[in-house]
Amino acid sequence: MSEKKTEKSQNKLTKKDFISDQMVKWCPGCGSHAILASVHKVFSDIGFKKEDFCFVSGIGCSSRFPYYVNTYGFHGIHGRAAAIASGIKIANPNLSVWVATGDGDSMAIGGNHFIHLIRRNMDINVLLFNNQVYGLTKGQFSPTTPRGGITKTSPHGTIEHPFITAGLVMGAQGNFFARCLDNDVKMMTDIMYQSAKHNGTAITEILQNCVIYSDKAFANVAAKEIKDEAQLRLEHGKPMIFGKYRDKGIVLSGNKLRVVNIGKNGVKKEDILVHDQYKKDPGIHRMLGRMHFPKYPIALGVIRSAPFNTYDQLMEEQIENEKKSSAIKCVDDLLNSGDTWEI
Amino acid sequence: MVKKTDIIELEDVVVKFVGDSGDGMQLTGTIFSELAAFSGNDLATFPDFPAEIRAPHNTIAGVSGFQMHMGRRPIYTPGDMCDVLVAMNPASLRANIKWVKTGATIVVDENTFDEKAISKAGYQTNPLENGDLTDYNVIKAPISELTKKSLKDLNIDKKLAMRAKNMFVLGIILYLFERDLKRVLKLIEMRFAKLPEVVKVNKTALESGYRYAETIEGVKSRYRVNPAPMERGKYRNITGNVAAAWGLLAASEKSGRPLFLGSYPITPATEILMELAKHKSLGAKVFQAEDEIAGICSAIGASFAGSLAATTTSGPGFSLKSEAIGLAVITELPLVIVNVQRAGPSTGMPTKSEQSDLMQALYGRNGECPVIVMVASSPANCFHYVYMASKLAMEHMVPVVLLTDGYIGFGSELFKIPEVDQLPQINPPLAKPNEPGYKPYKRDEKTLARKWAIAGTEGLRHRVGGLEKTNIEGSVSTDPLNHQLMVKLREEKVNKVVDFIPEQTLVGEKSGDLLVIGWGGTEGALKSTVKRMQEENYKISLAQFNYIKPLPKNTRSILANFKKIIVCELNMGQFVNYLKINFQEFHYHQYNKVQGLPFHVNELTEVFKNLLEE
């Protein structure tokens, strides 16, 4: 894996360097506040120059994000952040480009750009705030609202099958997928560091509570009394063990993942799958991404971060090669190439 | 034995090659045009092909054609009616006979006129025998048979042999026009350098066709088109789409801003995308996006990051880009949108030309959303107008819509090769690193343009976006008076461009009985007509517009000096309505044609003469 091109900052930066002068206008208690704080921290610690960050968004609550981070920022139009960010990254591959988006922005109106961004493996970091609802337009169902969900546009319950973000991302040949809860700042910042350093499209799904329209949407996995049984917190190189007494684990049985009790039926700790987030083959990552409670714990952390060539690197390489090999070095050469004649 | 033939000297001549989609008529036409150019003729060409790649064999729907107009005098259009038609099958003859002048020469492959093909073309009886063609000089040549025979010794398969029919017929035409056979053989060698077998086959067929024409009695005369008096210089043949692509490259080099193109394939604009994709050696970054919206949005992103950013499209794609054009307007970023217009609405007639999108370019967005609107008017000047569109976009920090159309995009003409050194300077208002007092929406007094602070520059971090911003500071704002101010400023910024564009010129005198007004790709036909009528002493002039918003400063004074005004458009009257809004004091006549076809000189002449007699 090649090193990031983004240059190192000479000066030590602090969170203050990234706090903008705009008033933050999210609801009190919204998970976005924690995400913003994490971004301020990661940007100041990671060592890039402050002018080399660029934050891009579409429309929605999450998409106000660029106004609250003192970097180059572009607040785009609904669904199009991925396309705008692609242009920025191609034009200047040296930038560390970040997209803030929501479940509706990225997977409904912007679904096309989202999957193609991932397929191309553009070196862009996407923070996907999934609160399973349209917040800014005041409470309509989204592509991730669970079937049957009652919202303002589904008063009798949705009759749609929701996207599983991980399934969509890896189906689009995604090479980096991480998931965390909005109240787990430690895991969130850790994922953001990894995202920033990963070459390629990095999707981080943040399961977010909308206090107004989808309050407690993730309570079934996030609530204190249940979280140990409902969450599998992945760490690279560590066995996939969970449970209040760390007595449960994931094994590969045939071509399926299975939950086992360590110590029962002859299952030993050594039988438990060890997480390899860098594995190129996405098979296990896909299964981990699709696990859901109560049959399985939900997988959190970096599920996949496999190294592959990025679009922006490959384009730079092609340009460099052509510059070396082509006889056409300037526009005058081009204008005078091929069949021409003097009169 | 070489027979004796007459030589007929012609001022100009229109030749059209037509056949089935797979008959190679585009190649035949292209080679013949290149030869005409080498021989010093002025010329214009137009390929006319169906939307289908290979429509059913021997049907009218599958007819593909290539028309070229060459002369010893300036040529402005690919021509109306043919002097020479080459028809490779019955369907192509039937589809084109209405565009052939009485007395013209028609070369046909008589071997293809079998019962089945004749009826498939929709003929009741064989047109070569039923007297339909008595008004023409018909050369009935057994082209298929003779091509096969000529290639017998080469031992190649029948299919490949049949593909060389177009070269046999080209040989006949070369003889008819006294063209240098050696030069063509060289062209073929160059074109198929990597395929020696194809070179051999083509050369053999070509020479056989030439010798055939030399000997048969059917060819009674040959035509001579002497070289045109052209301005000295270096020339090449160029299509409008290639010229547009090169104009972007030139503007990029001149401005020092790297080129980014974000586009999605769409007829008839795709050639610009394909052409630019070739030129990575000039640093062009070409992004074939997943859709039209991603095309323009990626370009807007690239513009924010400091590229000369462009997106190319045609009508339906232009509709999809509307919202994003608004984003470029409110973020006040430079962007070039090239719309190669085609017949609409909806999918319409993708390969047919129309001046369909002027209203959309001017007004087709939500909110008060002004952009600069320009239009190219010939294949070669697509280079100049794309260059100027790029210059204005960058210097005034505003999106520019440049309209062309399928007719000039696909069409070609001679292009006097410019030197990049001699092109106008382009000076984008770049903000310097750590510029003291930088504010995102602080404006230049003369242009009202804000500064271009490129993402990644030290000390200029700022945020832009689709929400309304305060002037100067650039903070998000819903303040009522600020909104009105910003709406006014954006409009005024575009209007101020009038001081940076040339005055409108006229073909003809500054006053007279009739002012003909056109815009864009109709220039060739309108200019030919007006010049012809001027020779007949009519007091008629032409104003062909290239700058639409803003209109050139002297527009009103031009309109005031003629007794009558007629606005000619290939639509239902979009420009005339725009003129009515801007200059209400004049009375406008209009002539509109919406057939997917260009204007013809004869029809225009009749319209203008009738109007003058009223």
pLDDT, one tens digit per residue, over B358-368 is: 999 999 999 99
Residues B130 and B269 in one domain: no
pLDDT digits (tens, 9 = 90+) for A144-178: 999 999 999 999 999 999 999 999 999 999 999 99
- Determine, yes or no, domain membership for A286: no
CATH classification of the domain holding B245: 3.40.50.970
Q: Are B549 and B581 in contact (CB under 8 A)?
A: no
Residue A225 resides in a domain: no
Residue B268 within a domain: yes
> Would you state the pLDDT for residue B181?
87
Mention every residue, 6+ apart, whose C-beta is less than 8 A from residue B154: B200, B201, B204
A261 with A268: CB under 8 angstroms? no
Contact yes or no for B290 and A318 at CB 8 A: no
Q: What is the 3-state secondary structure (H, E, C) of chain A?
A: CCCCCCCECCCCCCHHHHECCCCCCCCCCCCHHHHHHHHHHHHHHCCECHHHEEEEECCCCHHHHHHHECCEEEECCCCCHHHHHHHHHHHCCCCEEEEEEEHHHHHCCCHHHHHHHHHHCCCEEEEEEECCEECCCCCEECCCCCCCCCECCECCCCCCCCCCHHHHHHHCCCCEEEEEECCCHHHHHHHHHHHHHCCCCEEEEEECCCCCCCCCCCHHHHCCCCHHHHEEECCCCCECEECCCCCEEEEEECCEEEEEECCCCCCCHHHCCECCCCCCCCHHHHHHHHCCCCCCCEEEEEEEECCCCCHHHHHHHHHHHHHHHCCCCCHHHHHCCCCCEEC
Tell whether B129 and B36 lie within a shared domain.
yes
Considering the domain architecture, whether residues B129 and B210 belong to the same structural domain is answered as: yes
**Token couple for B291:** 């859709």
| A331 part of contact set with chain B, CB < 8 Å | yes
Last residue within a domain, chosen from B422, B448, B469:
B422
Q: What percentage of residues in chain A have a pLDDT greater than 90?
A: 87
CA dihedral A178, A183, A189, A195 (to 10 degrees): 20
Interface of A with B in 185-204 (CB under 8 A): none
Where residue B597 sits, what CATH number does that domain have? 3.40.50.920
Q: What percent of chain A has pLDDT over 70?
A: 97
Q: b/e for A80-114, b at 16 or more Cβ within 10 A? A: bbbbbbbbbbbbbbebbbbbbbbbbbbbbbbbbbb
Q: Does B74 touch chain A (CB under 8 A)?
A: no
Residues of chain B contacting A66 with CB distance shorter than 8 Å: 463, 465
- d(CA B312, CA B409) in angstroms, rounded, equals 12
ipTM: 0.96
Helix (H, G, I), strand (E, B) or coil at B403: strand
Give the integer Cα–Cα distance in Å for A128 and A99. 8
A74 in B contact zone (CB under 8 Å): yes
**What are residue B430's phi and psi, to 5 degrees?**
-75, 135
- A19 in contact with chain B, both atoms CB, cutoff 8 A: no
DSSP-based three-state secondary structure for B557: helix
pLDDT of residue A1: 40
List CB contacts of B325: < 8 A, sequence separation 6 or more: B296, B335, B337, B365, B369, B371, B399, B401
Q: Which of B257, B275, B282 to mutate to test the interface with A (most CBs of A within 10 A)?
A: B282
B31: nearest CA in chain A?
Answer: A339
Residue A148's pLDDT is 95
Cα angle B527, B389, B271; round to 5: 80
State the pLDDT at residue A33. Answer: 94
Do residues B245 and B156 share a domain? no
- Is A1's Cβ below 8 Å from some Cβ in B? no
Picking from B401, B422, B443, the residue at the C-terminal end of a domain is B422
Residue from the list A57, A80, A94 with its beta carbon closest to the beta carbon of B324:
A80
Say whether B301 and A84 touch across the interface (CB within 8 A). Answer: yes
Question: Which residues fall within 8 angstroms of residue A23, CB to CB, at 6 or more apart?
Answer: none
A340: closest chain B residue by CA: B236
Residue B115, burial from CB neighbour count under 10 angstroms (0-12, 13-18, 19+): exposed
Q: Is B98 within a domain?
A: yes
Q: Do the beta carbons of residue A65 and residue A54 sit within 8 Å?
A: no
Q: How many CB atoms lie within 10 A of CB A2?
A: 9
Mean pLDDT value across residues B439-454: 98
pLDDT computed for residue A308 by the predictor:
96
Asked if A258 and A288 count as a contact pair (C-beta separation under 8 A), the reply is: no
pLDDT tens for each residue of A35-81: 999 999 999 999 899 999 999 999 999 899 999 999 999 999 999 99
Q: Identify the residue among A56, A80, A318 best suited for mutation to test binding to B, counting B beta carbons within 10 A and taking the highest.
A: A80
| Chain B contact for A265 (CB, 8 A cutoff) | no
Q: What is the CATH number of the domain that holds B62?
A: 3.40.920.10
Exposure b/e, B348-362, CB count within 10 A at least 16 = b: eebbbbbbbbbebbb
Point out the domain boundary residue: B422, B444, B460: B422
Distance separating alpha carbons of residues B594 and B315, to the nearest angstrom: 15
- Please indicate, yes or no, whether residues B139 and B50 belong to a single structural domain of this protein: yes
Which CATH number is A197's domain given? 3.40.50.970
Q: Using the predicted structure, report yes or no on whether residue A4 has a pLDDT greater than 70.
A: no
CA distance from start to end of chain A: 56
Inter-chain touch A113–B304, beta carbons under 8 Å = no
Segment B102-142, tens digit of pLDDT: 999 999 999 999 999 999 999 999 999 999 999 999 999 99
Residue B432 CB contacts under 8 Å (≥ 6 apart), including other chains: none
Residue B430 lies in a domain: no
Query: Are B31 and B50 within one domain?
Result: yes
Per-residue pLDDT tens over the stretch B571-601? 999 999 999 999 999 999 999 999 999 999 9
Q: Are residues B72 and B19 in the same domain?
A: yes
pLDDT of residue B1: 46
**Which residues of B fall within a CB distance of 8 Å from A71?**
461
What pLDDT band is residue A6 in, cutting at 50, 70 and 90?
A: low
How close is the nearest chain A Cα to the Cα of B143, in Å? 30
Token pair recorded at residue A165: 């973000």
pLDDT the model gives residue A2:
46
| Cβ-based contacts of B282 with chain A (< 8 Å) | 328, 330-331, 334
* Mean pLDDT of all residues in B274-285: 98
With bands split at pLDDT 50, 70 and 90, how would you rate the model's confidence at A216?
Answer: confident
Return mean pLDDT, chain B. Answer: 95
Question: Distance between CA A127 and CA A42 in Å, rounded?
Answer: 13
The span from the CA of B284 to the CA of B391, in Å, is: 17
* Cα(B86)–Cα(B107) distance, integer angstroms: 5
Q: Which domain holds residue A119?
A: 15-217+310-316
Same domain as B288, residue B156: no
CB-CB: which of A49, A56, A92 is closest to B306? A92
User: Is residue B418 scored above 90 in pLDDT?
Assistant: yes
Q: How many domains does chain B have?
A: 3
Residue B502 falls within a domain, yes or no?
no
A11 touches chain B (CB under 8 A): no
Residues B135, B66 share a domain: yes
> Which chain B residues contact residue A82 at CB under 8 A?
294
Same domain, B407 and B263: yes
- Dist CA B507 CA B526 (whole Å): 10
A319 to chain B, any CB pair closer than 8 A? The answer is yes
- Give phi and psi for A14, each to the nearest 5: -125, 170
| B304 in A contact zone (CB under 8 Å) | yes
* Number of domain units in chain A: 1
How many other CB atoms are found less than 10 A from the CB of residue A14? 12
**Which residues are bridge partners to B109 per DSSP?**
B141
Asked if A83 contacts B301 with a C-beta cutoff of 8 angstroms, the reply is yes
Q: Which distant-in-sequence residues (6+ apart) come within 8 Å of A102 by Cβ? A: A60, A61, A62, A63, A128, A129, A130, A131, A135, A142
- A1 occurs within a structural domain: no
B159 lies in the same domain as B281: no
B42 vs A: CB within 8 A: no
DSSP B297: H
Distance CA B137, CA B176 (A): 13
Which residues of chain B neighbour A73 with C-beta distances below 8 Å?
461-465
Residue A89 domain-assigned? yes
- Give me the residues paired with residue B405 across strands: B341
Under 8 Å CB pairs connecting chains A and B tally to 201
Question: Is residue B212 located within the same domain as residue B285?
Answer: no
Inside any domain, residue A144:
yes
Q: A331-336 contacts: CB < 8 A, separation 24 or more?
A: A331/B246, A331/B249, A331/B250, A331/B253, A331/B282, A331/B420, A332/B419, A332/B420, A332/B421, A334/B246, A334/B249, A334/B279, A334/B282, A335/B236, A335/B246, A335/B250, A335/B417, A335/B418, A335/B420, A336/B234, A336/B417
pLDDT digits (tens, 9 = 90+) for B327-357: 999 999 999 999 999 999 999 999 999 999 9
**Which residue in A44, A77, A118, A123 has the most chain B C-beta atoms within 10 A of its own C-beta, making it the best mutation to test that interface?**
A77
Question: Is residue B463 in some structural domain?
Answer: no
CA A25 to chain centroid: 23
Residues 375-434 of B with CB under 8 A from A: 417-421
Show Cβ contacts of residue A171 under 8 Å, excluding neighbours closer than 6 positions. Answer: none
Which of B131, B51, B57 lies closest to B92 in space, CA to CA?
A: B57
What is the pLDDT averaged over residues B552-571? 98
Q: Write out the residue range of the structural domain in which residue B541 sits.
A: 512-613
Percentage of chain B exceeding pLDDT 70 = 99
Select from A25, A69, A84 the residue whose CB has the most chain B CBs within 10 Å, as the one to mutate to test that interface: A84
Q: Is residue B428 part of a domain?
A: no
Neighbour count for residue B567 (Cβ, 10 Å): 24
B584 vs B556, B576, B579, CA distance in Å? 10, 11, 8
